[in-house]
Amino acid sequence: MARKETNQIFLWITTLVFQMILFGTTIAKGHEGHSTSALTATYSEIKAKIEEYQSDDFTRKKSQRHYFATDVATNTRYEIHFDKKAPKHFKTGNVIELKGIVKGSDFYLNSAEAENFAYANGPSSNDAAVAAAASGNQNTLVIIINSTTATVSCSAAQITDFMFNSPTRSVNYMYQEASNGSLSFSGQVYTAQISVNSAGACDYGTWASKAQQAAGVSSGSYNKVVYVLPPDNSCGWAGLGMIGSSGAYVNGRSCGAPDIYAHELGHNLGMGHANSASGEYMDYSDVMGISGVGLRTVNAPHKIQMGWLPSSKVIQGSKGVFEIAPLEVNPALTSLPQVITLKKSNGEILHLSYRRKIGYDSIISSTYADRLNIHTGSYATMFKGALADGESYADTADGITVSVLSHTADSIQVQIDAECRPNTPALSLSPAVQGGAAGQSVSYNVTLKNNDSYLCPSSTFNLAAVLPAGFSGSLSSSSLTVAPGLSASASLSLASPATSTGEFLFQISSSGSEVIHSASVSGKVIIDSQAPTAPGNLTYSSSKGKINLLWSASSDNVAVARYEIYRNGSLLSTVQGYSTGSSVPKSRTTATYQVRAVDAAGNKSAFSNAVTIGGR
């Protein structure tokens, strides 16, 4: 067996062993707290709908993501645990094909493998869901949960007032002001008594279900649902909200802080945190920053994300003097723009806005008030600083200087100075690695992104290829002319000698009129005419609705890239080359299964032995 393939298999096995040993005794902090030590771990493959939550510990300034998966076939709900960071496509509403270890109600996934997990039905239109949720009246259910061991100190009347009714201190009226009348909240507050000891495990999901039953109300007819938990809980956070959907929890110890309710509902709407260089939550000008300080509205990038500013009120900056109105003013009441955007060469956007102590923003401090506020980001935002009259902000990488000339109650005057700053382009290759037979031609896509600052003119970048000895190849274009911030592509055709075998590196480079326009990227081609050995000892076991296939690993002179699983002679599915097992749906009729190995060059092994399995 080749060393590379052996290393891949070893990595996969050790990861699984690590997961089973680590997770076989206790669940990581933040889970609902039940022990899984007496439960059996099994490998499982399911199609599951994802839920992504954000928990917020404002005291320790620490947040945590929580992921859940509901099997679309059985409606079984699991909490997902990753060994490292969760992949970006694990978002609320996405249906993904999961493969991992199940132990009780916990699903353990290898983060690196999960990066490649496929959508079962394509990505959900979460952007559309966020836009829909950011307008109209949100019919909201709030349930106060009292347990056998603790009672929430806030009354239903108090929470009704600061959630819906008070013009000067309610989540409803704050969001009306922040959205310029686009979004409002109305609803009912119920109190439920449940027979549980809430001082034990943080079992908020069970408490919520029991509370709905006790209150005699269903969440199905509401746009948003908020649960106020018994104050003796061990959850370790002040609030928790599902990102981009419905479902929020407020710790009963903080039941009287309206901005925690607003913050978690903000996660439901699709907003992330308002941060600063001082840390997470540390943009105090936005309700998506720290909570427990009072209701205020949101910063410029969050207003733009939510669609609460007309596009005519957001202008792209350039060199010159600009005048903008306060962000708090209703756009219909001013003829001035309210946000200036400056696009940096790395794709980041600076948002310039004028903040004032108006309405719900009357509580913001002098750090932000009567100053030009500078932010970046969209979902999660970053406060870069605020400028008083005569002060400037310099971005040396892009040659941008922003200065405040003067301000009045109605507007602020901003001067923008900028110059062309050339930067090193970004070269990328797709695919970075591929295989082929000796003498065969393979193609790569070369992409160049111009990272010059936005005031620079378009530049011409010359492309050149350094090929392995004996190889021939050509680029579809020897140069690309690209504007700052944009990308262009060319293709590379590469042919190997008829007698070559092994792995070969090549390089693509760029050059231009500026020395800094030099860049390079390396690629690899695997030349292999030898097929892998056939997988051996194909066996199976049956579970509900599934066939679990296992086989002995194939070997290859370079590496096995994947295994193909066939049913009755037709390709059924594929798995990565370090896997030696897979679950497939059980056929309704008797079926014969075989497996074969494929290397990176596309060489296919002979088939394994066949197993014939009766139908359902």
Q: Are 46 and 98 in contact (CB under 8 A)?
A: yes
Say whether pLDDT at 91 is over 70. Answer: yes
pTM for this structure? 0.75
Outline where 309-374 has alpha helix (H). Answer: none
CA distances from 380 to 283, 307, 356, 365, 491 (A): 11, 15, 22, 21, 36
Residue 545 has pLDDT above 80, yes or no: no
Look at residue 466 and tell me whether its pLDDT is greater than 60: yes
| CA gap 226, 252 in Å, rounded | 12
Within its chain, how far is the Cα of 100 from the centroid?
20
Lowest-confidence region among 34-43, 168-177, 422-431 = 34-43
Q: Is residue 562 predicted with pLDDT exceeding 70?
A: yes
Q: What are phi and psi of 172, to 5 degrees?
A: -60, -55
Indicate the DSSP class of residue 251.
Answer: -
At 333, the pLDDT band (50, 70, 90 cuts) reads very high
Contacts 24+ apart (CB under 8 A), 364-373: 364/284, 364/285, 364/296, 365/284, 367/284, 367/285, 368/284, 368/285, 370/407, 371/404, 371/407, 372/402, 372/404, 372/407, 372/412, 372/414, 373/285, 373/299, 373/300, 373/327
Give me 449's structure tokens: 């992104």
Each residue's pLDDT tens digit, 10-25: 444 444 444 444 444 3
Q: From CA 408, how far away is CA 415, in angstroms rounded?
A: 15
Give the strand pairing for 381-387 and 459-466: unpaired
When the pLDDT of each residue in the chain is averaged and rounded to a whole number, the result is 90
Joined tokens for residue 258: 């309206």
- Above pLDDT 90, what percent of the chain? 74
Strand 581-585 with 546-552, pairing:
antiparallel
**Where do the domains of the chain lie, and which CATH numbers do they carry?**
3-121 (2.40.50), 129-270 (3.40.390), 300-418 (no CATH), 426-527 (2.60.40.10), 536-613 (2.60.40.10)
Closest of 458, 446, 401, 450 to residue 423, by C-alpha: 450
User: Given pLDDT bands bounded at 50, 70 and 90, which one contains residue 586?
Assistant: confident
pLDDT, tens digit, for every residue of 262-276? Answer: 999 999 999 999 999
d(CA 438, CA 440): 5
Answer for the pair 464, 511: CB distance below 8 angstroms, yes or no. Answer: yes
pLDDT for residue 24: 43
Is pLDDT of 182 > 90?
A: yes
DSSP state of 201: S
Mean pLDDT of 141-157: 98
Q: Is 499 exposed, middle or buried (0-12, 13-18, 19+ CB in 10 A)?
A: exposed
The string of DSSP letters for 427-443 reads EEEESSEEEE-TT-EEE
Collapsing DSSP states into helix, strand and coil, what is residue 247? coil
Rg over alpha carbons for the chain, rounded to the nearest Å, is 29
Report residue 1's pLDDT band, with 50, 70 and 90 as the boundaries: very low
Q: What is the pLDDT of residue 128?
A: 44
Name residue 203's amino acid: D
